[in-house]
Structure 1
Amino acid sequence: MTSFTLKGVSSDTGARRGELRLPHASLPIQTPVFMPVGTLGTVKAMTQEELSGLGFSLILGNTYHLYLRPGHELVRKAGGLHKFIAWDGAMLTDSGGFQVFSLQDLRKITENGAAFKSHIDGSEHFFSPERSIEVQHALGADIIMAFDECPPYPSTYEQTQSATERTHRWLTRCVAYHKEQASEQLLFGIAQGGTYESLRIESAQFIAAQDTPGIAIGGVSVGEPPEKMLEAVSWSMPYIPKEKPRYLMGVGTPQDILQAVAQGVDMFDCVLPTRLGRTGTFYTMRGRINIKGSRYTEDFGPVDPECSCAVCRRYSAAYLRHLYKCNEILASRLTTYHNLAHYAQLMADIRDAIERDDYASFMQTRLAQYGRKNDMKIEEVA
C-alpha cells in the first residue's frame, strides 16, 4: 500500500497537493513539503522543539557525515536516529553519494562503489550501494535514498551518460539488498541525466520501472543556472508515475521551489535558509537582505514587516545587526529561526494556493515580490 495520497492537481499548472504518511510522523505530512537539513543530526542553530513549533515534521540527515561521526552502529545502539537526536517527527537520509563524489581528490569511483578518505582524519572508507543501504538501515530513517553517482556541472554527454547508467546499475543493487533485509523503510530511487534531455528521459523511465515508493530528481543544484534546473525537471516529470511522491534534491531558493512546484514536485530540501542565516542573510517577502549592512544601524522596525514569526514580532533589525557585529551566537539562532519560519509559511501558502486552484497567479505574484521573472512557460507544465 502506497504511503502517498495525491489529493489534487491545479488546473492552471502541474502543482499537486498530497499527503505522505510515514511511521514516525503522528499526522500525515502535507505536500508540497520543505525539509530542513540536519546534516549531523541537528538543524544548525535550532532545537527540535523549535522545528516542531514551526510546523516541520520531516527533516533530513546526512548518511556520509553520520557514518563518520558518531558512527551508524552507535546510532543503532541508541535506537535509531530519531531517538538519538530526540526527534519525534519523520526523517529522510540521503545516500552519502553526493558528499562522497564532491570529495574529488579524496575518492575513487569504480563499478563496485566509491573509495574515499574522510575529510576529518584522512582515514580510508568504501561505500558500495549495499553499504550505503546498510548504513541507512542502521540510522533508521523513514525514507532512505539509493546510492547514486552525481555528475558535476558542467559535464560532457559521455561523462553524464556514464554516471547515469552507473546510477541505474547501483539502484538495482540497492533495491535487491533492501529487499533481502526486509526493511520497512521507504527506498527512493534517484533519476540523473544532467542537463541532457535524452538522458533525463531515459533515467526517469528506468527509475520509474523499478517501482520504488518514491522517485527523486538528482544532479541539480550543482552549479547550473535556474533555467537548466527547470529544464531537467520538465524533461523528467512526464515519466515519473503520478501516484508516487516526487522529490527534487537540494532545491532550493523560494523562487526555485515556486517554479518546481508548478511542474509537479512534492518534496524539497536545501541548506540555504540555515547556511545563509549564519551569515546574516534574511529571506523576506521582498527578497533576500543582509542585516550587516549599515542601512539597518538605526532600523528599529522588524526585518520583514510582513512576517509574523517570533523574531519579527519581538526584535528590531537594528538589534539583529548589533548581534552580528558583536559575533553573538544569538544572531545565528534568530536569523535561522526566521528563515525557516519564512520557508514554512511559503509552503503553507503554496498548499493553500493549490487548494484554491489559483497557483499560477499566486506563483507570478510571489516571483515578482522576490524579484525574479518566471523562468518557464506555464503552458509547458499544465
Structure 2
Amino acid sequence: MNFLEKNKKIVYVDYNATAPIRPEAKVAMMDVLGNPGNPSSVHSMGRQAKNVIERARSQVSEFIGARQENVIFTSGGTEADILALKGSSCLSILISSIEHDAVLEAVPEASRIMVSHSGVLDLEHLKVLLKEAPKPTLISVMWANNETGVIQPIEGVTNLASDFDALVHVDAVQALGKLPINFLNSGIDMLSISAHKIGGPTGVGALIIRDDLNLKPIIVGGGQERGRRSGTENLAGIAGFGAAAEACSKQEDANKKIVQLRDYFEKTILAKVPRAKIIAHKEKRLGNTSAVFMPGLTAETQVMAFDLAGIAVSAGAACSSGKVRQSHVLKAMNLPDELINNTIRISFGWQNSEEDVNRLIEAWLRIYQDSN
C-alpha cells in the first residue's frame, strides 16, 4: 500500500514539490535493495550492480534525447546544479532572478537577468549582460519555473549564447516529464534533472553534459561516473530513476488529462470569484501548474486551511526546509505585495482525478468565503 493509498482522504496537489513514487520505480528498487554488489567491484556481484546502473543510464538518456555517456548521476537536482555552476570554471555567470535557491545560493555573486511582469526571461537584458561579461561566460536558466509554471525561451537563450560564445546550463527539474526534451538537438551544454519530480525516489538526479565539455568535479575520490562525480553510486535510487523515466515516457495521455484538470480548476475559480487571479495565465506554462491568488488571505494561512481540509498545496517552492516565506519569484516579477503574499501554488499529477479537483474547488471557495 503506497503513501497516498494510506491517506485516501488527502487530495495531493503538490506534484511540483515531489511526486508519488511510481510502481515501476518501486519494483526496480526492491529488486536491488539488499544485494551486496558495489558497481566498482570486478567480481560478478559488482558487474551485476554495474549493469543496473548502465540500464538506468540508458533509460534516462532515451527519455531526454541524450547519449548514455552524457548522463552523470548525482544525489539530486541541487547537486547537479552546483556541479554545473562550479565545475564549468567560468569567469562570469549569468542567472535569472527567478532561479531555484539551489542556483541562487550556489553563486550569489552571479549577475541577475531580469524577467517580465509575467515571469518570462528578458532576452534583451541577457544580451546586454553578455556584452559586458568577461569570458568565459556561463548562462544558467530554468526551463520552467517551479512556482508559476512559466516556460522560458530556451531557444532564444541558446541562440544568444552561440552569438557570444557562452555556455548554457538549464535547470530542467520541473520540465522533465512535462515538456518534450531532446538534449542533443537543444544547443544546451548542461542540463539538471531529478528523479523524484517524475515519480522516482528522492536523493538521486543527474547532470547531462555535452560530449566534449570540460567539467571539473566538485566531489572527488574513487573516480565514479567517469571521474566527474566520485562516491559509491546510489544503486537502488538510480534503478528507480531509470524505471520512472521509462514509465514517464509512456504517459502522454496522462499529461493531457492533467492539463484538462488544471484548466477546469482555473476556469471554475475565476468564474466564481472574479477577484481571484492566476499568475501569468496568458503565458506558456506547464500544463499541471497554477499559481493562484486568493483575495483577503495570506498564502501561509491558506496552506494551513487547505491542510485542515485534507488538501496538500504549497506556498511557492517547497525545497526550503519547510519554511513559508515571501516568494522571490513573484517579487522578481514586480507584482504588488498583496499578490505576492496571497498566492499559493497548486500542481497536479497523474494520480489526480476530477473528484480531487471538485474537492479542491469546494475547499478553495469555502476558505475564500470564510475569510471575506
TM-score by length of 2: 0.30
Higher relative contact order, chain-length normalized (CA < 8 Å, sep 6+): 2
TM-score by length of 1: 0.29
* Greater percentage in strand: 1
